[in-house]
Structure 1
Amino acid sequence: MHKEEKSNIKCKKSKINRSIQTFVSFIFVACAVLGLGRLGEAKGQVSDDSRGVVLGAHVARSSQEKDTLLPVETYFGNPAYASTEEQLKALQVTVNPEDKTAVFPDPLLRIGTVIRITRATPVTVVDGKTSMLYRTWTTTVKALFDEKKIDVGSDDSVSVKGDATLTLQMTITITRVQITHVTTREPIDYKTVNKDDPTLEKGVTKTQQQGKKGVRTKVFEVRRENGTEVSRTLKDNTVTQEPVEAIIIHGTKVVLLGEGIATWFGAPSLSAAHNSLPRGTKVLVTNVENGKSVTVTIIGGGIQGRAIIDLSPDAFKQLAPLGDGIMQVRLTKP
């Protein structure tokens, strides 16, 4: 046989082997896609009804499909790669830690692989001011919280009930509520009581009792939601210290400085002369006949005659006409 004929025979055999390999690959992939995994049992494969590989764990295909709320994703893994991770990377498919992945047949066979990804249910939890996306295989809100160790206080509120069934793209809002009691103290002004004392000279005052402010204590219940105060309710309002009133004594006793005749002379405004009272003394001069009064300041003495006080013209006019010249007056402490 010529060399050329031998070469042609080898080429034909190679083509036949490649065709057989392609046909076998097609049969395995078709079996995987159609769920006919039993064709691979004789070669040590796992069937559709048995447990498939899930990134190192195992999961039943039937469980995969019934537990998820999302459609099962199916991809064909390139036979050029001998691991599921490499095949998914080449496909640019991301698998979350909670997702389940089943493959058939084993990528090590290098005949192509059907990859089935079952996605965990995504649920967004807005916890106070923080938003977090969780993926879970649980079916109720309470189970999700237990799984993710999300604690809810007795005062906190949740937007859905604990036994509510999880749904796709569900958002659960937790409002963190803090109840505190705040105590404030406010001063209470004291009253001032004025009393007359007929034994004390008129114009004299003294403090019988010092005033002291009291204290009012208020207790508020403060409610904060996610750290922000939303209400403040008065729960208690008590006078914890009564105020002490101030007592001021005012003298009413009239001190008589004399009675007699008043005249007038050209003295400065509202001033007077008196022979015995010291300079600067204030004197209340009252006209005995009509009861009119005026207060003057003593500026000196030197009165001649029978008058006991000599008034400035303007002071005299407040008691009687200047033309009267004299009048009967009573002198007292103002």
Structure 2
Amino acid sequence: QTFFLGDEINLKVIFKEKKSLTSNSPVSIAMPEVKDLLFIKNQKSTQSTDDNYNIHTLSYRLSADNFGTFNIPSAVASIGNQNNNIFGNLSTAKIRKIHSNPLTLTVKPLPDALRIFGDFNIKSSIDKTQATQGKAVNLTVTIHGKGNFEDIQKFSLDIEGATIYSDEAEFSYNQWQQKFAIVGGQDFVIPSFKFDYFDKITQSKKSIATKPISIQIKSKKGVQKPIKKIDQKPSNINDNPPTNNLKYYYLLLGIAIGAFINILFVALKNKQPSKDRSLVNQIKLARGDKALFDLLLPLNMLSLEAILQQLEANIYKNAQHKIRKKDIINAIKFEHKIN
């Protein structure tokens, strides 16, 4: 029999016992061991009869780890028990062995250097289509179906202008899944994921793919309302004030401009610490690793890189790193030298 690498076939071992010779002796069947072949026994055996025989059927699923031609030796049925003789040694006099016919199998490699065999479908899903700058969009790529999921390689994702965190792929007997967290500074498109495999039904190469997904990124800076400018003209008694009064007005105007510049300088100087104090309060109030991760990621601080990696591992890989908010706050204070 011939089949493709990655596929599996059903193998049956049939043991017949003449009704006229039926005994109560136990029967055990040993399957041969063949390199690169795997025999998986089904849970239940079946019993049936015909006119002359009682028939026992054992079913196996057989798969291969390599391609080529395989010679399977005979399966051996042992009938009877091993008993102790009078000297206390095992005696095999009551055991009778029957051998089945040998088999030859041919396992063909998949064409086009394919690695995956089966019947699959693929989809990608996200938790949001709009996000604020610095907030992550969570993406999940899922492959459903039947086949050798353990051989599916993880996808790589590259989006210009975005930071991408990828989880390790996980799989079960009927599903394969990989998760991503994407942080973008502007609108971006999640590209299509293409998956090639050898289709079990059509016995040919098949390509399936997800659809691209557009993500909108909103700026986190608030829009300031325009300040209405009110021009106030000093009330003059005379349309042509004296020259001395005009000099006096210029002096007052110079003083006012100087005071305004000083106030503006102080405000700009204190703006960043005030912002950082607000950030410190947000960090103190953050509940959970995900909220803390979303706060720290947009800061782009080298001193927080190790903490971000630990948070990512806690969120996406079920790690148990202990995160000290005090260390984060100290790093931010040192960076901006605030009290």
The interval holding the TM-score normalised by the smaller chain is under 0.3
Higher relative contact order (CA 8 A, sep 6+): 2
Higher strand residue share = 1
Q: TM-score, normalised by structure 1?
A: 0.23
